[in-house]
Amino acid sequence: MLDIIQIPVLKDNYIYLLHDSASDETAVVDPAEANPVLRILAEKNWTLNYIFNTHHHWDHVGGNLLLKERTGCGVIASSYDQNRIPGIDQAVSEGDMLRLGDEVIEVINTPGHTLGHIVYFCRQQHALFCGDTLFSLGCGRLFEGTPEQMWHSLQKIRALPDETKIYCAHEYTENNARFALSVDPDNIALKRYNETIHRLRAQNKSTIPTTLAQEKACNPFLRPESAAIRQILNMPENKNVDVFARLRQMKDHF
């Protein structure tokens, strides 16, 4: 089993440290900054072996080079981003398998937010490190990809086991909930989750990880088939991807 430590940085980013105690191997996912990671490594007396980047944006790769310089770790990232992510040692893409101790980590391509976006799925741990593809009650903006690409990417995530824990890279849940309720106001599961979110944030606690089951019940971007959402959008017969595209457009201007 992996020990997973969530490190809040910047305004609303999360970095994740993954440690396998049997092998004493450690990886970090999307280090926006190096120093908070170095502090915890020192406290735990862990040695950093790998950086796993999901995509090229600065608030996910900003700590790469300093961490590599200080620890000698290897940087793993998408083959699409070989010229956009600093310090890459191993380029990966869909179907590649990584190991951290006994944990097998599957690489899944999820273009949409960026064209080179990938996610890391730890099947034994039931943990998905999904960067900016999926958020609790939201999904990433389409900075480079198309609605069709993003919807295809989200369908890959939606097909994972319901118990999968979703470790996304930002604390956006409270704002996402406001939008979700605007397009799905009668969703009982969403209303209950919104109460939990308010309680957690009032105590300055993280809403992450969420679970895939929770997101499938509450996240409008995973639910374009919903008759209730389609009624609100006046899109009763449209394709799922068209409903998704409309939701994403609405969220951009919410």
Tell me the pLDDT tens digit for each residue of 175-206.
999 999 999 999 999 999 999 999 999 999 99
* pLDDT value of position 54: 98
In a domain, 191, yes or no: no
Classify residue 185: in a domain, yes or no: no
**What was the pLDDT predicted at 1?**
86
Q: What is the domain-level CATH number for residue 92?
A: 3.60.15.10
Alpha-carbon distance values, 18 to 27, 112, 207, 213, 231 (Å): 5, 26, 19, 23, 43
Residue 234 inside a domain? The answer is: no
Is there a cis peptide before residue 236, judged by omega within 30 degrees of 0? no
Q: Are 18 and 28 in contact (CB under 8 A)?
A: yes
Q: Tell me, yes or no, whether 18 lies in a domain.
A: yes
What predicted TM-score, i.e. pTM, was given to this entire model? 0.96
Q: What is the pLDDT of residue 224?
A: 97
The pLDDT value recorded for residue 226 is 97
Contact predicate 33/10, CB 8 Å:
yes
Q: What's the pLDDT at 118? A: 98
Residue 111 lies in a domain: yes
Low-confidence stretches of the chain (pLDDT beneath 50): none
- Residues labelled as active-site residues: 55, 57, 59-60, 113, 132, 170
- Would 24 be classed as within a structural domain? yes
Q: List the one residue out of 194, 130, 186, 181 whose CA is nearest residue 157.
A: 130
pLDDT of residue 196: 98
Range of the domain at 155: 2-176+209-218
- Please indicate, yes or no, if residue 242 is contained in any of the structural domains: no
The reply to whether 184 falls in a domain is no
Q: Quote the number of domains for the chain.
A: 1
User: Is 211 in contact with 222 (CB distance < 8 Å)?
Assistant: no
